[in-house]
Structure 1
Amino acid sequence: MSNRPSADALPPQSALSATARVEWQTVALVIVIYGSFFAVTWFWQSLPLLVVIALGGWLIAWHGSLQHEVIHGHPTRSRLINDAIGWPPLSLWLPYAIYREGHLTHHRDEHLTDPIEDPESSYFTQAAWEHMGRLGRRLAAWNATLLGRLTLGPLIMILSFLAQEIALVAKGDRHRAALWARHALGVAAVLFWVVWVSKMPLWLYLFGFVYIGAALTRLRSYAEHRYADCHDERTAVVENSPLLGLLFLYNNLHVLHHKRPGVPWYHVPFLYRRHRDFLVAANGGLVYDGYWDIARRFLLQPHDDPRHPLHREPLDLD
């Protein structure tokens, strides 16, 4: 039985958001991320290949964490400025505007994990599961393991997303087409810098930066949500992970983010420690002791049945 508290012990969002007009900690982070991106791509030939890949993957994942921050209203009070900070498509495949729209929809917590209502759900409806065929179901089952999520997961995620977007544009969605046209200009600028100016092979950027960065992001999101009858208990916490916590801008303390999505990244660890008992009680104790704990449990075992409990019927997985 759940021991969830009956009242929210956290300070109200209005109090937590009463910050300066400019959050200089995040501005410094913006300079570090973009400055490091230009430095690594410019000096890549002077670095060992594995170092380039490690730094490139880290920077793309870190940039994705920064985009998540600006979606939630940081580092200024101007959405125009914030969106300009988050817009450059370093990952190439994900337009910022689509990410923003989908992620804010994801924050309707009453619909968390629902494959119809939650754009970031990893679950399938029964109908979608049956439509996938045997090979598709086997890939989905493999993708439910941590090893599968880190290896094939980025490819499945990117190709599925692009297929959905192509279908929307093909159906005549002019708004989506215009959005992708603007995104294409940004992609062209990134590739011009990387391939033409910095002379980096395209395969190295696609694999070492984009794919590895997507894999790191998939690590963060792998055990982030899990269906439970109470929506507060669908959001996990990954503690004791200082290095990856910085990479994810402490979004690993995810239950706090869903409770107070406007809290800036540099306040999250302190606020979590101060209210840990309440937050762990609120999410039903869904806590992992670092990402090694997740790997120990789920490296080759599925995190959950890929079919959503409210959208499935008994079915032979073969």
Structure 2
Amino acid sequence: MPHYLDDRQRQDIQRLRVSFTGRSEWPTWLLLVGVYGGWFGLMLLSPRLGVWPTTLLMIPLLVLWMSLQHELLHGHPTRLLWLNKALGYAPFAVWYPYTLYRDTHLEHHRDEDLTVPGRDPESRYLSQARWLHTQRLARLLRWLDKTLPGRLLFGAPLALSGLLVGESKRLLLGERQAWLMWSTHGAFAVLMFWFIERHSALSTLHYLLLIALPALSVSMVRSYYEHRPSERPEQRTVINEASWPWNWLFLHLNLHLVHHDLPGLAWYYLPAVYRAHREQWLARSGGFLVQGYGELFRLHSLNPVDSPQHPFV
């Protein structure tokens, strides 16, 4: 456990981990069954439900699935990496292979590199040198991405264009791991699209553009102001006191500093651990507190939250 936790905090966390819930991880197992059952159920019932009701139900389900994949890569509900990979490999969200998400996200957890472009794979900032060589339209998109409506509209296309460029380079260089990962992911995606075309009222194109893409956009609300540049690594990560339904869609990852400090702590324990020592977490974050996503919509629908340029790089 982190060295700055006092004895009481360590005892509280250890008590949670050895409890029946902590040992069995039944909430995560239940969620897995619910998401898998919900996906197949909605697909099979879609001819009766209709295309648009199915679409509106499927989007939050995919957002929840992406949050659940995050739990799997952090060692829940089992400590067996191969089993968690098997549980999370379904390409419901389409765009990111599980292993790519797992490897880049664990690299992102090097807190000393948080937000630093070129070192943090999830950074949305550009170095000052790269900014100088960025075209005017690309600069405009980066500024729009720093507003919350802009993140919803342009965040996913920007992320996917970066994914396309980066992974194309790896494939052209003949990296064996990249070819194996994408061919396996592609095969499962083709199988999923066959199921959608055969057993649902949806088309593959509808699923891609009107379900998977909007779900990725909604999931990016969480990462909109999740990190900020700061001299001190622990002050780069937000505490967002979001309420339902956001905290359930994101599995309480809005309490992001608690997760970064305790990445092995299961999602269902984050609120209790935060509430027990709220003032200490706020002090550790340097006051990096957001009072829910409504505050971000209110303050940053027109005004960018900060600059796309990283101030220290």
CA deviation profile, 1:170-200 (whole Å, cap 9, x unmatched): 1221211111111111111211111233241
Tell me the secondary structure at the aligned position of residue 64 of structure 2.
Answer: helix
Tell me the secondary structure at the aligned position of residue 220 of structure 1.
Answer: helix
Is the counterpart of residue 310 in structure 1 residue 312 in structure 2? Answer: yes
The runs of 5 or more residues in structure 2 that have no matched partner are none
Q: Is the 8 A contact 2:51 2:201 kept in 1?
A: no
- Report the equivalent of 1:237: 239
Tell me the secondary structure at the aligned position of residue 262 of structure 1.
Answer: coil
- The whole-number CA distance in structure 2 between the counterparts of 1:8 and 1:21 is 22
Identity rate, percent = 36
2:183 counterpart letter in structure 1:
A
Q: Is the 8 A contact 1:249 1:266 kept in 2?
A: yes
CA deviation profile, 1:71-125 (whole Å, cap 9, x unmatched): 1100012222111111111111101001000000110101110011100111011
1:7 counterpart letter in structure 2:
Y
- Report the equivalent of 2:189: 187
- The whole-number CA distance in structure 2 between the counterparts of 1:305 and 1:297 is 15
Q: Is the 8 A contact 1:21 1:76 kept in 2?
A: no
Distance apart, 1:12 and its partner CA: 7.5
Q: Is the 8 A contact 2:46 2:54 kept in 1?
A: yes
Tell me the secondary structure at the aligned position of residue 122 of structure 2.
Answer: coil
Tell me the secondary structure at the aligned position of residue 242 of structure 1.
Answer: coil
Q: Is the 8 A contact 1:21 1:77 kept in 2?
A: no
Is the counterpart of residue 126 in structure 1 residue 123 in structure 2? Answer: no
Tell me the secondary structure at the aligned position of residue 240 of structure 2.
Answer: strand
- The TM-score, its normalising length taken from structure 1, stands at 0.91
The runs of 5 or more residues in structure 1 that have no matched partner are 1-5, 312-318
- The whole-number CA distance in structure 1 between the counterparts of 2:260 and 2:267 is 13
- Candidates 131, 151, 154, aligned match of 1:152: 154
- Report the equivalent of 1:226: 228
- The whole-number CA distance in structure 1 between the counterparts of 2:182 and 2:126 is 26
Shift of the 228–181 alpha-carbon distance from structure 1 to 2, 3 Å rule, reads same
CA deviation profile, 1:232-281 (whole Å, cap 9, x unmatched): 11111111412110110000111100110111111111111111111111
Q: Which has the higher contact order (CA 8 A, sep 6+)?
A: 1
Distance apart, 1:287 and its partner CA: 1.0
CA deviation profile, 1:144-179 (whole Å, cap 9, x unmatched): 111110012111111221221011111221211111
1:159 counterpart letter in structure 2:
S
- Report the equivalent of 2:58: 56
Is the counterpart of residue 92 in structure 1 residue 91 in structure 2? Answer: no
- Report the equivalent of 2:5: 8
Q: Is the 8 A contact 1:13 1:260 kept in 2?
A: no
2:120 counterpart letter in structure 1:
D
- Report the equivalent of 1:315: none
Q: Is the 8 A contact 1:59 1:209 kept in 2?
A: no
- Candidates 257, 260, 263, aligned match of 1:261: 263
- The TM-score, its normalising length taken from structure 2, stands at 0.93
Q: Is the 8 A contact 2:240 2:254 kept in 1?
A: yes
1:177 counterpart letter in structure 2:
W
2:94 counterpart letter in structure 1:
L
Tell me the secondary structure at the aligned position of residue 290 of structure 2.
Answer: strand
Is the counterpart of residue 167 in structure 1 residue 169 in structure 2? Answer: yes
**Within 5 Å, which residues of 2 pair with 1:6-45?**
7-9=4-6, 10-11=9-10, 15=14, 17-18=17-18, 21-45=23-47
